[in-house]
Structures are given as C-alpha cells and as structure tokens.
Structure 1
Amino acid sequence: MSLPSTATRDPLSIGGIELDVPVVLAPMAGITNTAFRRLCREFGAGLYVSEMITSRALVERTPESMRLITHHESETPRSIQLYGVDPKTVADAVTMLVAEDRADHIDLNFGCPVPKVTRKGGGAALPWKSGLFRGIVEGAVKAAGDIPLTVKMRKGIDADHLTYLEAGRIAEGAGVASIALHARTAAEFYSGQADWPAIAKLKETVTTVPVLGNGDIWSADDALRMVDETGCDGVVVGRGCLGRPWLFGDLAAAFRGEQRKAEPSLGDVARTFRRHAELLVEFFDSEERGCRDIRKHVAWYFKGYPVGGELRAKLATVESLAHLDDLLGELDWSMPYPGEGAEGPRGRAGTPKQPALPDGWLDSQELVGHDRTTLVDAELDTSGG
C-alpha cells in the first residue's frame, strides 16, 4: 500500500466550526453512538456525528431520542443528524436543539437507502421531490440560526433518477454550511465502487460552501486521493472505520502531511475492543446491553488477525466485561499487525436492488395527493435507524 502524500491539506470550516483536519465521521445507525464517537476522538480529530435521530420522535421527546442526543462532556463540537420528511416537524426539531443548547452542528439525512425509510419517501428518496426538499432545508436553516446546518445525500434514487446536482444547488441557495455526497444511488446501496467523479461534478456545481466526499474511503491514502481527484473540501468516513477507530489517527496524520500509519498488534486491537465495550456499558448504563452491543463489532476488529473461529464465536456471545477479559486473555497479544488482511472493505456491501418507494413516487417531482398521504406516517417513532 502506498503511503499518503506528505503535502499538507487545508483545514475545513463548516459555518463557525473550524476543523484542522477535514474529516467527518458518517452517521451510522447502531454504530455512531456516544461510545464509538468518544473512542474515535481518542485516536484522531474531526467532526463526529450522532446516529440518525427522527425529528418527530425528538419533538415528542421519546426516551430513546433524548438519550441519543445526549453528548458526553468531552465531546465538542456536538454534532447531531436529523431525519424527517415534514418541513414543520424538522424545523421544530432544529428549534428544540438550538433553544436547549444541545448541538453545535446539525446535519440533515437525505442519503439513507434502507427500504423502511425510502418506501415512505424519506432518506435518499426525498430529494426527488424537489419542492419538499427545498421546504425542509430552508426551514431548517432558518430555525438553526447561527448553528451550522448541513446536508448529506446520495446521487439519487437510481441511474435514471439522479438528484444530487439539483439538490446541491437548492441546499446551497438555502444557506447550508456544507454538503456531503455519498457517491452512490439508493439502488446501489453499498455495492460496487463509489462514483468519485460525481463528487467532482457536485464540487463544480456548488461553489460557495464546502463539498465533502463519501464512499470507499478505507485508508488515509484513499482520503487524500479522493481530495486530489475530486477537489472536494473534506471527506466523510463510514464503513472504513468499523473496527478501526485508529483510522482517524491515520487521517489526521495524513492531512497534516505526516508519514504515519497505525499497524496495531493483536494486543492493541484487544485493548481497543475492551475500551469500546467499556464505553458502551457506560453509554447504555447497563453491562448486559453494552456487552450485547459490542458483539456485532467482533468481526470488524479482528479482521485479518489469527483469531480462531471458536474464540470469535465466544466473543460474539460475550455476556459481561469479566467474561470479555477472560476471552481476550486467550489471545496472543504479541501477534503483530497482519498487513493487508486487516485492511480494505468492511461492513455489508449488499447488491444493487430496486429501491422501495411509495406508489407513484417517480411520476412527478412535485408532491401530489397520494404522496402527502404517504408522508403522514413516514417518520418512524424510533431514532437511531
């Protein structure tokens, strides 16, 4: 693997937030909770965004939503991502966050490709309705006031229904502080290769606010290459950091022009995995829930390392921190970094699929009667995905 260039990259300004490293942690349902954000911060620098919070649930102050918007005192700036389909509800949610001083940055989700979201007209499906998109973004920007409000989106619904350039112009005109593009359509889900040239096209279209690129950043070298090839102002990192919070250290070093790359031993991985579990227990205020949650991270952390299938299976059923300590004690902590085997893609890529959409959604880019009926219950009553 080639080492990142030693050329220093520019810092990133999002509204009034100055980031000396132009890196953003992508919101990921069930992943980017306070525990994971804190862990990533311990390794690097950047902007670390919460899990997706449903606007309606937040306005209704459901216990889960209120817990998910709570930041640890060490987290600054505090960043929250909202999902919504109704301009008034989204604006009310933004107003609440601002009035109660719960966020320093707010992002709007227009990129989620999950069927339970898109079949109701939300996420990556919503920018197709350009008037609705405009109403949500303009209302949210107004409600945010001095708090930077940004948007994250995909290229569109599928290759025949691309929305990102028009949506980018609308968002820029509405006064957002930055625009992030995951360079895939909803139909592509996470499959294939991200279309980095689309990021370059958006950067050429949007000229007054930063454009951030997202998709297939598995290493610091990838991040620098994306910036060089597309001209984007920063990067958004999602699946590449799963089981690798030290990637943010690599990114910080690379953007500062330093030749440094983490090559963690098995002991380093074990210590970080244990730290993650400890933070999850604190976040859930429950050892049982925290240990249950860390199970899904096992394959990501130990990818490429010589950990037998039987031990991996036991780690994936861990029940307590003491149990976890016993299992980690069975590892040979002196085993060195395995190289390429620990690198590369992680997380489920899936395969291209026909997006789930409301009936007749693609018939018009304007809202019609049956669209409004669908959107009434589009906002789920839960947050975090």
Structure 2
Amino acid sequence: MPELTIGPLTVTDVVLAPMAGVTNPPFRRLCREAGELGARQAGYEGISGLYVCEMVTTRALVERHPETMRMIEPDPGDPIRSIQLYGVEPKTVGAAVRMLVDEDRADHIDLNFGCPVPKVTRRGGGAALPWKLDLFTAIVEAAVDNAGGIPITVKTRVGIDADHITYRDAGRIAQDAGVAAMSLHGRTMAQHYAGRADWDTIALLVEDLDIPVLGNGDLFSADDARAMREHTGCAGIVVGRGCQGRPWIFTDLVADSHGSTVRARPSFREVSAIIHRHAEYSIEHFGDELRAMREMRKHITWYLRGFSVGGERRRELALVATLDELDERLADIPDQDYPDAAEGPRGRAGTEKKPHLPEFWLDSRQLSADQQLKIQAAEVNISGG
C-alpha cells in the first residue's frame, strides 16, 4: 500500500518540500487540492500527502516575529499542519518546538539540515550543521524531547562535499534520538542543484535505518517518482523544484502512487484559472492586493513555461499589480493545449560552488569553545524569519 506512516500520521507517500518564498499557504493549498484530485481519481479516501510550509527560524519564532507568525499560518483546509524549522542552538530549537506544541500550531515538525544557501551555512546551519556531531545530536534531541508526541522528522543532504559526507552518521543519530522519519536530498551542499542527484545514497540510507526514509532530488514527474521508489526502496518521495509553476504535478504523483494512469495536462485557459485562484488565495492570505501580486510574479513566470505567450506579454504579466489586471492580460492570450515544453526539470541547476562555512569548521566533528560562542550569536543574528 503506497502510504507513509510518520508517528501517528498516515498519508500518501508524497511530500511537498518546503521552499523559501514558495511554499506559503496559498501555494500549499493549490498543491494539496491537486493531490486530493489525484486521490479521488485513483479511488483513494485517505490523506493525499504532506504539504510542508517554508522554513522558519527558531529564534524568530520564539520572538514571535510578525512575518514569521504569518509564515506558520496553515493552509486552512489541510488536515495535517506541517512546519519546517531551522535553528543552530539546541535550547532555542527546543523552545520553538515546545511553543508549537503548547499552542497547538503543528501536527508535524521537520528540522532543516539541508539548506545549501551561504547565508545559512556560513553560520554553521543547514547542510553544514550535521558535520558537528555533538551539535546535531543536541538539536535533534531537544526537538524530540519537547515534541509531546508530535512526530519530528529530519531533512538533510549527503554532506558538505565529496570529502565530507554526513548523511549516514546523521541518520543513525536521528533514529537513536527518536525521529519519526528522515528525508535525504541526494546531493552535497557544494553541488547545490548541479548535476544529477545520487539516488544510491538514498538506497544506502534505507538499508541503514529502520525508520522511514524519504527520497529527494530530480523528481519532475510521476515517472521520476516511480523510478526513485524502485531504485531506492524509499518510503516516500519529496518534491521541490518540480512543482514550481506546476502544482498539478501532485495530481499525477498521488494518482500514480495509487495505481492510476491519470495525468494532468491543463490547457492555457485551465492554467489561467489556476493562476487566478492562486492570486485570490494570496490576496486573502496577505490581506494586501499589491503585496500578493508581487508575490505572484515569480509564480506567473513559472506557470507560463512552455506556452506560446510572447516576450512582451510575459513582461507585462511580470508587472501586474491587481487581480483585474492579471485577469485582463491572461484573457488576451489565446487558449492552447498543454505543451510538452512545460514538462521536465524546473529551477536553476547551476554549477557546483565552494561551501561557505564558519572558520575552521571542518577541522573537527565536534564544536570548539569558540565555535560554540559563535553558534549562539548566529542564532540571534539570523532572527527575522
């Protein structure tokens, strides 16, 4: 049965990866609705998957930063409220988890140890953190100890670079600490999104652990998801860039997971209706039409991929300021079938990059006294959501 069990939760084995500036409640709602359509088409009556909010910092959460509090607002129709936390100081991570539990704000909490962005890793966070075994252990244990029965999961990468691999140690520590599942992106921090994800690493982690292991990396279609399951034996798949401008991929993923061959290939007019609904959800969420439309602009660019629109109209749509303006500009574009060019990889792959790390970070797998002090400062400095 293609279901994923995480603590007391049982869902279809499909997860929306948290993405900064992307997986806010309006976009999560669209993805969930698409997944629920796939479930109905496959005759499945359970929960269609996990749809995780964009990463929030633990310090900003504990401080109740207004924008961070907005970020953790749930998609109002989601039966499972999933929140991803980033933190580098165990006490603060524990306090953030306890806050979410005590205030009944989450049903599932994920810990981010996979972010490769320099502003995070140069402070020792994200994909850099599992190199320090003592710090990683303390953070995971603090989260589990304060979770009150809510399942904690961990997301990480293969390592910092090919010479500094961390995922198998991290998996063992996380399992021993009591996490409910672990997700692995089959790339190192240095790779960012370059090259191909190494699915063999996911297969090895599946062999290592008794808890569910979820696979992430280069999932752009239902065929890719099926191939990953077959190659790795993973308990679930985590989709990130593959859904940008394409929330209907969750119809395909959930339907395929339950044995259906149904695939969503929306016409331009149908995509326009999805864009309109996305904009309406965004205006409702932000309570500010101009801000909502500014947030929509990147999504509109992704939605238009592969369609015959024209450069000038694309530029006009990238500057929309109101819902009426959006509708007018979309209505001017002739309807057309879903193009093959809209399929395939999404997002910028780029090239490998030199890891940005704290000074002397790779000298030892344990924190030095000086690094301990700097880690505490980093937690404060990154405050702000």
**Letter of the structure 2 residue corresponding to residue 368 of structure 1:** S
- Secondary structure, counterpart of 1:317 in structure 2: coil
Match of 2:10 among 4, 7, 18: 18
Give the gaps of 5 or more residues in structure 2. 36-47
Question: Using the alignment, how far apart are the partners of 1:349 and 1:281 within structure 2?
Answer: 31
Kept in 2, the 8 Å contact 1:12–1:18? The answer is yes
Question: Using the alignment, how far apart are the partners of 1:72 and 1:185 within structure 2?
Answer: 31
1:372 aligned partner: 372
Match of 2:78 among 75, 78, 85: 75
1:33 aligned partner: 24
Question: Using the alignment, how far apart are the partners of 1:273 and 1:72 within structure 2?
Answer: 17
| Structure 2 counterparts to residues 152-301 of structure 1, below 5 A | 152-207=155-210, 209-301=211-303
**Letter of the structure 1 residue corresponding to residue 212 of structure 2:** P
Q: CA deviation digits over 1:14-50, x for unaligned, max 9?
A: 111110x201100000000001011111110210001
1:142 aligned partner: 145
* C-alpha deviation, 1:169, in angstroms: 0.4
**Letter of the structure 2 residue corresponding to residue 33 of structure 1:** N
1:318 aligned partner: 320
**Letter of the structure 1 residue corresponding to residue 230 of structure 2:** D
**Letter of the structure 1 residue corresponding to residue 363 of structure 2:** D
* C-alpha deviation, 1:65, in angstroms: 1.1
Kept in 1, the 8 Å contact 2:28–2:75? The answer is no
Structure 1 position 355 matched with structure 2 position 355: yes
Kept in 2, the 8 Å contact 1:22–1:234? The answer is yes
2:339 aligned partner: 338
Question: Using the alignment, how far apart are the partners of 1:87 and 1:213 within structure 2?
Answer: 26
Question: Using the alignment, how far apart are the partners of 2:332 and 2:370 within structure 1?
Answer: 59
Match of 1:112 among 106, 112, 115: 115
1:5 aligned partner: none
Q: CA deviation digits over 1:280-300, x for unaligned, max 9?
A: 111111100000111011221
1:6 aligned partner: none
Q: How many positions carry a matched residue from both structures? A: 371
Question: Using the alignment, how far apart are the partners of 1:31 and 1:210 within structure 2?
Answer: 26
Question: Using the alignment, how far apart are the partners of 2:223 and 2:60 within structure 1?
Answer: 39
* C-alpha deviation, 1:67, in angstroms: 1.1
* C-alpha deviation, 1:168, in angstroms: 0.2
1:3 aligned partner: none
Kept in 2, the 8 Å contact 1:120–1:377? The answer is no
How much identity, in percent, do the aligned residues show? 58
Question: Using the alignment, how far apart are the partners of 1:99 and 1:357 within structure 2?
Answer: 35
* C-alpha deviation, 1:274, in angstroms: 1.3
**Letter of the structure 1 residue corresponding to residue 25 of structure 2:** T
Q: Which runs of 4+ in 1 moved over 4 A?
A: none
Structure 1 position 128 matched with structure 2 position 128: no
With normalisation by structure 1, the TM-score equals 0.95
Question: Using the alignment, how far apart are the partners of 1:241 and 1:303 within structure 2?
Answer: 12
Question: Using the alignment, how far apart are the partners of 1:154 and 1:145 within structure 2?
Answer: 27
Give the gaps of 5 or more residues in structure 1. 1-8
Kept in 1, the 8 Å contact 2:17–2:239? The answer is yes
Structure 1 position 302 matched with structure 2 position 333: no
Question: Using the alignment, how far apart are the partners of 1:125 and 1:102 within structure 2?
Answer: 28
Question: Which region of structure 1 is more displaced relative to structure 2, 354-363 or 260-269?
Answer: 260-269
With normalisation by structure 2, the TM-score equals 0.95
Match of 1:88 among 83, 86, 91: 91
**Letter of the structure 2 residue corresponding to residue 14 of structure 1:** I
- Secondary structure, counterpart of 1:56 in structure 2: helix
Question: Using the alignment, how far apart are the partners of 1:346 and 1:303 within structure 2?
Answer: 9
Question: Using the alignment, how far apart are the partners of 1:377 and 1:236 within structure 2?
Answer: 32
- Secondary structure, counterpart of 2:26 in structure 1: helix
* C-alpha deviation, 1:329, in angstroms: 0.9
**Letter of the structure 1 residue corresponding to residue 137 of structure 2:** R
